[in-house]
Chains A and B, each alone.
Chain A
Amino acid sequence: MAEKKNIVELEDVVVKFVGDSGDGMQLAGTLFSDSAAIAGNDLATFPDFPAEIRAPQNTVAGVSGFQVHLGQRKIFTSGDMCDVLVAMNPASLKANLKWAKPGATLIVDSATFDEKGIEKAGYQTNPLEDGRLDSYNLIKAPISLLTQESLKDLNLDKRTAERTKNIFALGLLYFLFNRDLEVTLHFLEKKFKAKPGILEANRVALKAGFNYAETIEAIKSTFRVGPAKLEKGLYRNITGNIATAWGLLAASENSGRPLFLGSYPITPATEILMELAKHKSLGAKVFQAEDEIAGICSAIGASFAGSLAITTTSGPGLSLKTEAIGLAVITELPLVIVNVQRAGPSTGMPTKSEQSDLMQALFGRNGECPAIVMAASSPANCFYYAYEAAKLSLEHMTPVILLTDGYIGFGSELFRIPDTKDLPSIKPPIATPNDPNFKPYRRDEKTLVRQWAHPGMEGLRHRIGGLEKTNIDGNVSTDPLNHQLMVNIRAEKVNRVADYIPLQELEGEESGDLLVVGWGGTEGQLLSAVHQMHEEGKKVSLAQFNYIMPLPKNTAEVFSRFKKIIVCELNSGQFVNYLRMTLPDFRYHQFNKVQGLPFTLHELTEAFNKLLEDK
């Protein structure tokens, strides 16, 4: 029996699993996160994988990673730099060492650091031996050899044994974090129910990893992260893309409008399409179209026919859908367009996140073509903003563009499970059959919203389309004054949505020296930065926008309460220029980054401090 090791209490910790694309890092990371969640930690995760499915083995291009940030305090992001890096080969160490904090714990599969592996990774000498890692807490464990050794009695083929090394590494980590193996054993039993051989291999490997860690000298102390103080309730871990799909399903159920999704696979939005395709038992109709245009056009057809119609995509797909969005605007049909943004232009960096489609969402169409634009800001709140996007679209008879991004779409966090009956009701303006006063463009005086009559409804036959129509009657018209009227009405209808959305809230004091302004998926990083500034006694607050077109009604009033405003975005300045155009009375500073990466805490606080010091 090895001597008892020290236990170090941690407030929060960032663990990153990295390895070759086929090494099972996503699974190991997910299992680690789930066991942490069940132990009561708050957490956020982010997978980091290459665009290629299987890049050349053991090269830097093929490195796949999974990062989890867990804590006994509220966790806002998946973290910038990691405290523990688990590297399954030389290439993954090479690619990720720059993301490890000084003095971080490195757990490496030393069996892969042979001459060939080292050379493929682009190292000249063995990094485990040449002293360059001396400042880290390096744990060299021949994980792949030990895994094979531990499985030798099971008579498995070499490939299966090899593929279990991620679970051995996980066992090692569970020891390091004083975690119970039960949760993961239970999960493995479920996952490999039909494959008893593989189940046994995973079970043995997990325990072997745990036992190995207990005996080795290199681990001098272990960590404990206590449970976080979370609101009571039922929880699950959820990614932004799944939360988006579920929010839309909830909106369908609560509005009584069947869900129709017309979509085409595109990274990083495809998970929403795949998730909704699973839920035919909830009546969801999912049409995988031949292209992006057919995706949105089929959704417009379904909307005409009375469905909650949705199309999901990412930047290049939004470009292709542009003309059809105009059709939904002029026909005044409800339609939810989800854009999970990625780094552009063109194909850009499909698996990397960015916020550079805002201008396209706001203005990228021919003609005067207003639509509601909103943004979710965390993996879990994708559920609520998808729900809200559907609600606004159905109740105001207008397309809504919901912007999320690859970072929150792929990232996960804890989600307190709501009861759908507690969500706000959704009441689309459906026409009454045989209403003698029905006209396609007769409007509600207050909201300017027209009524929705679907094919099949008795006594309401009418025709709509992409040609300009007369207000009320809906006949084709090129009358100049009617066109002006319709342009004005379409804009005003969207502007009046401001009466139905919440006021802009602030994190921090109601007034102060600096207002940090962000929108969408950067919320976690900006919150962390603003909290740190508070701790340093600075008068800094955060306004993170979820509603962009229209803006919350109190936006100007909020801005007026701060001496300085800095708008932070992962683009070259799209929201800040929209604000300059919409609310020109303020002076906006800006902080931008376009690297396909989230903001880091350090770069944000540095920028804020500098701005506070400037006279």
Chain B
Amino acid sequence: MLENKRIQISPVELTKEDFVSDQMVKWCPGCGAHAILAAVENVFPRIGYRKENFTFISGIGCSSRFPYYVNTYGFHGIHGRANPIASGVKIANPDLSVWIATGDGDSMAIGGNHLIHIVRRNIDVNILLFNNQIYGLTKGQYSPTTPMGKVTKTSPQGTIEHPFVAAGLVMGAQGTFFARSTDNNVKLMTEVMYEAAKHDGTSVVEILQNCVIFADKTHKDITGREVREERQLILKHGEPMIFGKNNDKGIILKGTGLAVVTLGEDGITEKDILIHDQHSKDPAIHRMLGRMMPPEFPVALGVIRSAAFETYDDLLEDQIEFAKKDSKIQSVNDLLRSGDIWEI
């Protein structure tokens, strides 16, 4: 159970059933979103806040139907705007645990401006970014994360756009928390969602999600059973960055960048391998980790960055508290009678 200075803890122990909705879940069979829903239903009772304090906000897209499928307060907004809607919810009532379900198009194309600004402000919300590298609900157009050259319905000769790396975007916007998971690893998803809830500030959890209809196996180079141990580096705070089927690969700092090495080769031992410090305020290593891509590198999963900075909502509450103590104007009648007034 999490302790939070504002959000009330549930007086009774909650279970998954407290968050299961009575609505029919209408995602395609095999869609990665089902697993994300399962992870949320698992983690919310564990987080342990009073159930009425959880609020889910979304924009538009397959991901954004999420609020209908989980039994919390929910608000299904308009395309790209989940982040400002959620900002308003959290600022208005900082006692809520605010969650956002969004996709790669919703948050990085039409809502790109809002994503960078919510992250920059460090408003204490949790963003679940479903990245399936495609527009699903409009049936298969390329998105801002579709790999260059991919043939989609709006790129019949292949896309000619450089894709966003969500981690690069979030950390470029001075993000304080970024984690990544694959949709076929419910345990890891649950773990990073818990860490996101624990973090004070904007937490972005990118989930590499499969769209079974329009971008099937888009993440197969990372999630495929045969390759995943070689292609995934699951980060753990305070532990060396070691991966591979035989736990024999590691990440070292070389020159101004990262490099993959094999333990036992060229005199490399475990003490040469970088130790993960997710709490480092300096984002330099986190940025490099976030941008690692196959085939040269494994993809970094788990909590890449979780650094403590003041949140917008805490600072605002402090200012209000100060103003209430400090100001002569305690009511609208005081305000109306302030400054130059005269009697006739």
Contact = CB atoms under 8 A, between A and B. Distances in A.
Q: Is the A/B pair a real complex?
A: yes
Interface in A317-352: 323-324, 326-327, 331
Given A246-B335, A287-B88, A307-B92, A294 B117 contact: yes
A464 B320 contact: no
A234 B85 contact: no
A461 B21 CA distance: 11
A302 B86 CA distance: 8
B27 to A, nearest CB: 14
Interface string B275-301: 000000000000000000000000000
Contacts of B56: 463
Contacts of B150: none
B265 interface: no
A309 B272 CA distance: 56
A233 B337 CA distance: 12
Most buried by A among B53, B93, B327: B93
Nearest to A459: B52
B84 A458 contact: no
Contact of A418 (B86, B336, B342): B336
Nearest to B72: A461
A279 B58 CA distance: 31
B337 A299 contact: no
B78 A417 contact: no
A290 B88 contact: no
Interface string A481-506: 00000000000000000000000000
Given A235-B342, A246-B336, A463 B91 contact: no
B308 interface: no
Classify chain B's interface size: 35 or more
Contacts of A455: 52-53, 55, 73, 89, 93, 96
Nearest to A291: B113
A305 interface: yes
A21 B64 CA distance: 51
Interface string B295-327: 000000000000000000000100110111011
Interface string B24-57: 0000000000000000000000000001110111
Interface residues of A, number: 70
A18 B67 CA distance: 58
A306 B320 contact: no
A282 B335 contact: yes
Nearest to A281: B327
Contacts of A280: 319-320, 322-324, 327
A250 B334 CA distance: 11
A466 B72 contact: no
B76 A461 contact: no
Given A281-B326, A294-B117, 10 more contacts: A230-B344, A236-B341, A279-B329, A285-B92, A287-B87, A301-B85, A301-B89, A301-B92, A420-B331, A464-B76
Interface of B: 23, 51-53, 55-58, 60, 67-68, 71-78, 81, 83-93, 95-96, 113-114, 117, 316, 319-320, 322-324, 326-327, 329-333, 335-337, 339-344
